[in-house]
A and B are shown apart, each in its own frame.
Chain A
């Protein structure tokens, strides 16, 4: 069974940092690209950042470029998002999501349940 389990969300002050993790099981992690997608309270979905199966970066949305870094450890079946210089507008539920397959990068067929990040003073 495919499982994606996010962790690391917390309440943090503006300007602070957090590292989100996503533990993967049930499939061969290094065969798939991955992404982080966020959803602010009561709002829609926003793709944050993506990473290819070999660790190459797919990209970031403009609002997080230079502040967030996506990475993966294929040996540990884990995906990460290092979040620095956090702002109030980064408050959201952060999902990790799996690319459907090679050739469909950007289509997400499995999602975790999300981890909540709240940026507040």
Chain B
């Protein structure tokens, strides 16, 4: 199984500042034949189901604000939230869909400083 490890486990960021979440996969999740990276990011607010933010490592889902961006390749990935807003308080998960069982990181809790 591919193990996904996120860092940090939690972070507190001031409103309007940048939040950066890292995700590392135990195996490469780049499929060489189509050059696509099988990595997604989700946001889960308290008491709600997760919401898809990013897929193919950097493609923003329809309707997701531009302040959310994904980057990285191979085994190291980053979710960046530019100009953090109060409504961004949530737990964020990375997930690989390169091979089953599809696996998630342990989550990173983002709070307001």
Residues of A at the B interface (CB closer than 8 Å) are 35, 44-47, 50, 58-62, 95, 100, 104-109, 111-114
Contact = CB atoms under 8 A, between A and B. Distances in A.
B97 A107 contact: yes
B55 A45 contact: no
A47 B52 contact: no
Given A104-B55, A108-B52, A44 B100 contact: no
Interface residues of B, number: 23
Given A45-B93, A100-B61, 18 more contacts: A35-B102, A44-B104, A45-B44, A45-B50, A50-B100, A59-B100, A95-B49, A100-B52, A106-B38, A107-B40, A107-B55, A107-B95, A108-B40, A108-B52, A109-B52, A109-B61, A111-B50, A111-B51
Interface of B: 1, 38, 40, 42, 44, 49-52, 55, 61, 91, 93, 95, 97, 100-107
Contacts of A104: 55, 97
B38 A108 contact: no
